[in-house]
Amino acid sequence: MNIPHPIAAERKEPSASPARANARIRVQGLAKRYGALEVFRNVNVDVGDREIVAIVGPSGCGKTTLLRCIDGLIAPSSGKVEISGVEVTAPLPGVAMVFQQFGLFPWKTVFNNVAYGLRLAGASKAEIRERVPRFIKLVGLAGFEDAYPYQLSGGMQQRCGLARALAIEPSVLLMDEPFAAVDAQTREILQFELLRIWEVRPTSMVFVTHSIEEAVLMGHRVVVLKGRPAGVFEIIEVDLPHPRTRETLMHPHFAQLREHVWTTLMDEARAAELQLQR
């Protein structure tokens, strides 16, 4: 189960064929620097066509930065990202991002925020009228169509941002701690809703989370980012049965995997703690 840098090893092969047979996203030798600060280096991750890859790592290790590189919002310092074989230099169609700080426009109502991506994608009025309410309902915001973001709680804003991304029915979904602000029950509903969406639509998802449990529940693989500068410390295959449901949480292997991820992450936290005590 302990496979450090598996993709890095594969990269040594000169072959142009994708590392994972049907990789949708290929992150190759990615590095990002902000001046003197090297956020991460040599990150290699492939995300399959219908794969959910969860990313965990301590705060500030560069998870958001990595997602922004994958989305094409910022340029990496070296390495590259390919989506469906196309090198990402700017945001691509069919790729949607759920932002950590929600990124809702305060001057738009819930309806118009959710419709934003659709409108830019050139959806017709009829399409918008049909789809937007459907996704608003999906995330449990029915009745708040005309509310402005300031009238919503943090969790509701987060769900609105999720609906906006889902509404364009993307083939690649990049999610930056999408459930961080929602309560435990809603989080559970949304987790299984997302898994259900994934069952009916082949979507590649990169799912950043601080919750180890969530990473193991949602991810087909869990990528642990660690170090300074950060790198892929470990990629854990989550060989739990599909579809993932509430039962998955009871699976004996689930607890094992969770412990494994926890220990991997904890080493770092403990080291930091020791450093503080000194």
Partner 1 sequence: MSAQDASLSPPRSGLRAWLSPEATARIAAGIAIVAIWELAVRLWAPAFVARPSRIVAVFPAVVTDPGLWLAAGQTLGAVVQGLAFAVVLGTTIGLAIGRVPAVERFLQLYVSGLFAMPMVAILPLLTLFFGYTGDARLATVVFAAVFAIIINVSDGARAVPPEYIEVSRSFRGSGWSRLFDVVLPSSVPYLIAGLKLAAGRALIGAVVAEFYAAIPGLGYYILYNTRTFKHSEAFVAVAMLAIVGVLFELLLSRGTRWLLPWYRRDEARD
Ligand X SMILES: Nc1ncnc2c1ncn2[C@@H]1O[C@H](COP(=O)(O)OP(=O)(O)OP(=O)(O)O)[C@@H](O)[C@H]1O
Distance CA 19, CA 46 (A): 7
Residues 70, 79: Cα–Cα separation, whole Å: 11
Shortest gap between Cβ of 132 and ligand X (angstroms)?
29
Binding mask 58-87 for partner 1 (x = CB under 8 A): ----------x--x-x--------------
**The two three-digit tokens of residue 262, written as one number:** 């926890």
Gap between the Cα atoms of 168 and 131, Å rounded: 9
34 binds ligand X (CB under 6 A): yes
Question: Please, which residue, 93 or 154, has the CB nearer to Mg ion?
Answer: 154
Q: Which of Mg ion, partner 1, ligand X, none has residue 151 at its interface (CB below 5 to 8 Å by kind)?
A: partner 1
Q: Which stretch binds Mg ion (CB under 5 A): 21-29, 62-70, 145-153, 186-194?
A: 62-70
- Which of positions 211-240 make contact with ligand X (CB under 6 A)? none
Do the Cβ atoms of 238 and 216 come closer than 8 Å?
yes
User: How are the residues of the chain apportioned to helix, strand and coil, as percentages rounded to the nearest 5?
Assistant: 40, 25, 35
Sheet containing 172-176, strands listed edge to edge, beginning at the edge strand earlier in sequence: 95-98, 172-176, 204-208, 52-56, 221-226, 231-237
Q: Does 64 bind Mg ion (CB under 5 A)?
A: yes
In the complex with ligand X, the residue whose CB is nearer, 64 or 211, is 64
Give least dist CB 57 to ligand X, A: 6
Say which residues have a Cβ less than 8 Å from residue 1's Cβ, sequence separation at least 6: 236, 237, 260
Say whether 271 sits in a helix, a strand or coil.
Answer: helix
User: What residues between 41 and 60 interact with ligand X by CB under 6 A?
Assistant: 57, 59-60
Backbone angles phi, psi at 26, to 5 degrees: -125, 120
Q: What residues contact residue 252 under an 8 Å CB cut-off, 6+ apart?
A: none
Local structure of residue 141 (DSSP, 8 states): -
| 64 binding ligand X? (CB under 6 A) | yes
61 is in the binding site of which of ligand X, Mg ion, partner 1, none (Cβ under 5 to 8 A by kind)?
ligand X
- Closer CB to partner 1, residue 104 or residue 194? 104
- Smallest gap from residue 97 Cβ to partner 1 (A): 5
Tell me if residue 171 falls in helix, strand or coil: coil
CB atoms within 10 A of CB 22: 12
**Where in 9-68 is the site for partner 1 (CB under 8 A)?**
68
Binding span for ligand X by CB under 6 A among 34-42, 84-92, 146-154, 191-199: 34-42
Contact between 61 and 230 under an 8 Å Cβ cutoff? The reply is yes
Least gap, CB of 62 to partner 1 (angstroms): 16
Look up residue 76 and give its two tokens.
């990496």
Q: Which of 89, 124, 151, 263 binds partner 1 (CB under 8 A)?
A: 151
Contact 83, 231 (CB under 8 A): no
Residue from 22, 89, 101, 245 touching partner 1 (CB under 8 A): that is 101
Binding site for ligand X (CB under 6 A): 34, 37, 39, 57, 59-65, 100
Binding site for partner 1 (CB under 8 A): 68, 71, 73, 90-93, 96-97, 99, 101, 103, 105-108, 116-117, 120-121, 148-151, 168
Binding site for Mg ion (CB under 5 A): 64, 100
